Each structure stands twice: as C-alpha cells, then as structure tokens.
Chain A
C-alpha cells in the first residue's frame, strides 16, 4: 500500500520534473521594466517595451508573442537611415545569449500590438506572453501608461 502511494506520488511529480527541465532555457528568462502607452480606441496599433534578460546558461530564442489584447502581436524594429528616414519592420526570431539582455525600447525594437481587441486604457495592465523556440513561455503583466509616457516610470 505504502509503496503504491510512493509510486503514485512519483508518477504525479514526474511530468512536472520533465516540464521543468524542458523549459530550462526559457525558464531562466526574466522580463523587467515592461510598459506600454495607452491607445486611442482599437483602430490604431499599440506598442509595448521591456527588457528581456536571459539569466540562464543556455542560449534562448524568442520566436513570437501572444496576448488576448491583440490579434496580431509582433516584434518590430524601427530603423533610421542616414537621411533621418525612419521605418519599422518585423524582426523575426531573436537569439539571446546567456547573461544578455535584449531591450525593447523607443528608437529600437517594440512589441507591436496590431488588431487591438479592446482599447489600451491608462492605469490598466495586460498579459503578454513571450514564446521561445524550446516551447517555453514567459508571461508578463504589462502596465499601460499615458499616451505621452516616455518610460516605465516617468
């Protein structure tokens, strides 16, 4: 009886143990300083910013985003040429080396939130999930600041 109980406990914890080891890469990703700007209704896209740090000792690959706030969330890069002309384009996958931090910040990359399902209201938050190539996910609550916000805490 006792041994059956132990076997059951082992069987129950085993999937968790496996799940944890499978997430070793993405599981060590820390997201900090997340913020976004309030939107005007839902017809125009929003943008979110954050620092994504790989605190582990394996490379991780950020492959995409998911959120119930937007039908099409995508990481974009704004680039400005020598003539001062700015444009943005989808980034694709982002490799983050151990100990490295990738910043999504004005002037560089942003999480572009297209097809908003509800307006982004100042003072609220929304969950944003980062998807990694190893199947791991990291979800962060992103605070929504005013439309004229310049950073996570100005």
Chain B
C-alpha cells in the first residue's frame, strides 16, 4: 500500500519534471507561431493580366517594389478620378522614393476597358500608373484573390445602360507582394503619403 503510494508520487514527480522540461519548448514554439502569423500577410497579390500597353503582367513584374492597387473602371466619373488623382499626389509627394512604389489600376469593367481604353485613361494622371485589364474570367479570378467586390447594375441613364459598384479602397502590398494595408475611399492623400513613407523607411 505504502509502496504504491510512493510509486504514484514518483510518477507524479516524473510527470511534473517532464512538463517542466517540455513546457519552455512548447511555449517557444507557440510564440514563434504567433510571430509568424503576425508577420505573414493576410493574402498575396496574385494576378495574370494585360496592361494598357498590351503587355502581359503578373505580380512578379513588380517584385521588390511596393504596389499601390486600386480597382475601378474608366467610365467612372467620380470615385475613380478622385482616387487616381490622390494616387498622383501621393506619387509626387514620395519624391525619390516613388521608384520603390508601383501604382496599379485594375479594371472591374473588362467589357469596356480594353487595354486601349485604359491607355486613353490612366496615363493622363501622369503618375506612372499601370492600367490592368483582362477577360471577364481573369478579372473575376483577380477579384477573388484580392477579396474585392464588384457588380454591374443596369441603369438606363448611364452610358451603355449600366454602371458598376466596386470596392473603393486603396490597397498596399509589400515588396514580396504580401498585403500590408488598405485605406478607405476619400482618405486624404497626405495621410496616405505619411503612412506610406513610414512603412517604406522601416
């Protein structure tokens, strides 16, 4: 009886000792996991599209640079020119750092926004913006990757009888194409510029 009790106590001691030994290892592992999760971006920029010069483009073309990405359509008279003019202000404000940032405008209206339609639109903002478009399927795939929403809705008064609603945030991706941040539509360019500068400097 006393022996079994002694044996039980020994086992318990061994258990505690084992836990004491393993615990720091488990803890370190857990901490490493947490840190990795924090560092690992929510998603990666990933696309295969055609630019406004007719060239095939993927995120690999911009590896090593930050990407400022906006989704829209050339027929959009308010939100899109407003954001693209903000992007132009941001690019100008970056000065020499502008080389490290590539602004991209991805069309969610592939039927109207052919590469040549975009060639008549994005270069006018004089900010080095690259316009990207593709087949309806390619745009649908891209929107899923970027977790953005767009919808065509019929409106008799609109040109061609339809207009689009679409996600209007400005997205930032890091030099390895990982998602970094997004700013809501109508965030002042100065605010975005300050934020972007800080991130580039890190």
A and B associate: yes
A-to-B contact residues, CB < 8 Å: 37, 40-41, 43-47, 72, 74, 76, 78, 80, 83-88, 90, 106-107, 110, 112-115, 147-150
A86 touches B185 (CB 8 A): yes
Per a CB cutoff under 8 Å, which of A43, A45, A74, A106 touches B82?
A106
Given A46-B77, A78-B79, CB of A148 within 8 Å of CB of B126 = yes
A76 touches B167 (CB 8 A): no
Given A44-B159, A150-B85, A150-B89, CB of A88 within 8 Å of CB of B184 = no
B86 touches A114 (CB 8 A): no
B165 touches A86 (CB 8 A): yes
A85 touches B149 (CB 8 A): yes
- Pick the most buried of B125, B168, B169: most chain A CB atoms within 10 A of its CB: B168
The residue of chain A having its C-beta at the shortest distance from the C-beta of B184 within the complex is: A84
Query: Which residues of A lie under 8 Å from residue B149 when comparing CB positions?
Result: 83, 85
B-to-A contact residues, CB < 8 Å: 74-75, 77-79, 81-82, 84-86, 88-89, 120-121, 124-127, 149, 153, 157-159, 163-169, 182, 184-186, 189
Query: Which residues of A lie under 8 Å from residue B127 when comparing CB positions?
Result: 148
Across chains A and B, the number of contacting residue pairs, with CB separation under 8 Å, is 91
B78 touches A87 (CB 8 A): no
- 14 inter-chain pairs at a CB distance below 8 angstroms, sorted by A residue, are A37-B77, A37-B81, A44-B77, A45-B158, A76-B78, A85-B149, A86-B185, A88-B163, A90-B157, A106-B82, A110-B77, A114-B159, A147-B125, A150-B82
For the complex, give the distance between the alpha carbons of A85 and B124 in Å: 25
For the complex, give the distance between the alpha carbons of A76 and B81 in Å: 16
The residue of chain A having its C-beta at the shortest distance from the C-beta of B80 within the complex is: A86
B167 touches A110 (CB 8 A): no
The residue of chain A having its C-beta at the shortest distance from the C-beta of B83 within the complex is: A106
Query: Which residues of A lie under 8 Å from residue B77 when comparing CB positions?
Result: 37, 44-47, 110, 112-113
Contacts A87-B163, A112-B77, A147-B125 known; list 8 others, CB within 8 Å: A37-B77, A37-B81, A40-B120, A43-B159, A46-B77, A47-B78, A110-B77, A150-B82
For the complex, give the distance between the alpha carbons of A23 and B153 in Å: 39
Query: Which residues of B lie under 8 Å from residue A87 when comparing CB positions?
Result: 153, 163-166
B158 touches A147 (CB 8 A): no
For the complex, give the distance between the alpha carbons of A122 and B94 in Å: 26
A147 touches B78 (CB 8 A): no
Distance (whole angstroms) from the CB of B68 to the closest CB of chain A: 15
